[in-house]
Amino acid sequence: MAFLPGLTLARRYHDEVVASVLRRRFPDLRYAAGLLDGGSELLGLDTVRSTDHDWGPRVQVFVAATDAARIPGLRAALDADLPTEFLGWPTRFAGDDGRLGVADPGGSRHGVSVDELAGWWRDRLGFDPAAGVAVADWLATPTQRLAEVTGGAIFHDGLGGALTARRTALAWYPTDVWRHVLAAAWTRIAQAEHLPGRCAEVGDELGSRVVVAGLARDLMRLGLLLHRRWPPYDKWLGTVFGGLPDAAPVVAALNDALGAGDWSRRQAGLVQALEAVARWTDETGLAPPVHARVRPFHHRPFLVLHAERIAAALRAGVTDPVLRDRPPLGAVDQYVHSVDVLTHAGRIRRLADSLWPGGVVTDLRR
């Protein structure tokens, strides 16, 4: 069977199958439908390789709270009426571990979910964007989640635009939150940029490369944020970063920094990448230009940007008193890298809320 991008397959599945079942069985139902719940297809990055698991004809159906009692009947009707295949792809999935698993015509589960709209957002993010997005909400939401829910696609919004409005509310950070997150990123870089040279100086080439790799990851995430793109998780970070219109010189520089060369070549690549991303920061207009260029680290024979200068300029521009009083930790995925935390809204909120003096831990009943 010919490969179709997952979003194309999902849209056709809704338009040609799911919508027909719902019209026939529930002609009075108002609903929204789309695909926002994760997967490479939401970023347009799925390939034939993606089809080996958690991929296939999928649609999310959302109903209003007033129709929540109808959800069991909706699920039962879809389970009974959906075909076993669509465009040659099985619509059923094998496996019982809570994920879709492998597409299998004899599988026990299909890829159409039905949820109450507001409840789905609370479960996915820990809050409902329709009620507004507070500073704490932004900072407790991983950028991968934001990439998913603002990526993907909406196929039908028969709830008065309620699904579309929620996605629009999460399109991008408010300006002060953006400054805070960027300042946190530059703070991380400032804390580590002098370490690769020191490692190399004592003969620890492996340690030097490990630190440079961490800096490269931070710079790539930072570069995406500067271009108003939500950084995805690590599998797709390089791909999405490389797609930025002015990323090619930085990609080349980071390849040099991470390559097999000696410390002098590694430093040259890192310096070029640091200065380029510093220029991108100046170009946002979020703070007075710093024009940061590398210089020696004290009297030691290696070069650093002294990135704390850029962080300070961004923090000085923050006017929101809630943010001005916070340490430069940024968003949760700037200081947490555990999948088991970042994919669980309740854990994220409890952790993030506990870090702020006087913060109230959100009770998500999880």
Closest CA to 150 of 216, 228, 223, 215: 228
Residue the block writes with tokens 């008193």: 321
pLDDT digits (tens, 9 = 90+) for 263-310: 999 999 999 999 999 999 999 999 999 999 999 999 999 999 999 999
Q: Is there a single domain that holds both residue 63 and residue 142?
A: yes
First vs last Cα of the chain: how many Å apart? 42
Dist CA 33 CA 62 (whole Å): 6
Dist CA 277 CA 241 (whole Å): 12
Dist CA 194 CA 213 (whole Å): 13
Q: Is there a single domain that holds both residue 179 and residue 314?
A: yes
Mapping DSSP onto H, E and C, the string for 249-310 reads HHHHHHHHHHCCCCHHHHHHHHHHHHHHHHHHHHHCCCCCCCCCCCEECCCCCCEECCCHHH
Q: Is there a single domain that holds both residue 267 and residue 251?
A: yes
- Total tally of structural domains belonging to the chain: 2
Of 115, 139, 170, at which residue does a domain stop?
170
The pLDDT confidence band at residue 98, using thresholds 50, 70 and 90, is very low
Structure tokens that stand for 102 in this block = 């492998």
Q: Indicate whether 336 belongs to any domain.
A: no
The pLDDT confidence band at residue 6, using thresholds 50, 70 and 90, is very high
Q: Is there a single domain that holds both residue 224 and residue 98?
A: no
Q: Indicate whether 119 belongs to any domain.
A: yes
Q: Indicate whether 135 belongs to any domain.
A: yes
Range of the domain at 157: 6-170
Dist CA 63 CA 69 (whole Å): 10
Of 127, 147, 170, at which residue does a domain stop?
170
Query: Exposed, middle or buried, 49 (CB in 10 Å: 0-12/13-18/19+)?
Result: exposed
Q: Is there a single domain that holds both residue 198 and residue 238?
A: yes
Structure tokens that stand for 167 in this block = 């996605």
Q: Indicate whether 351 belongs to any domain.
A: no
Q: Indicate whether 366 belongs to any domain.
A: no
> Is the four-CA dihedral 238, 142, 319, 323 of positive or negative sign?
negative
Name the pTM for this structure.
Answer: 0.92
Q: Is there a single domain that holds both residue 195 and residue 163?
A: no
Closest CA to 233 of 7, 10, 45, 35: 45
Q: Is there a single domain that holds both residue 218 and residue 274?
A: yes
pLDDT digits (tens, 9 = 90+) for 158-192: 999 999 999 999 999 999 999 999 999 999 999 99
pLDDT digits (tens, 9 = 90+) for 224-256: 999 999 999 999 999 999 999 999 999 999 999
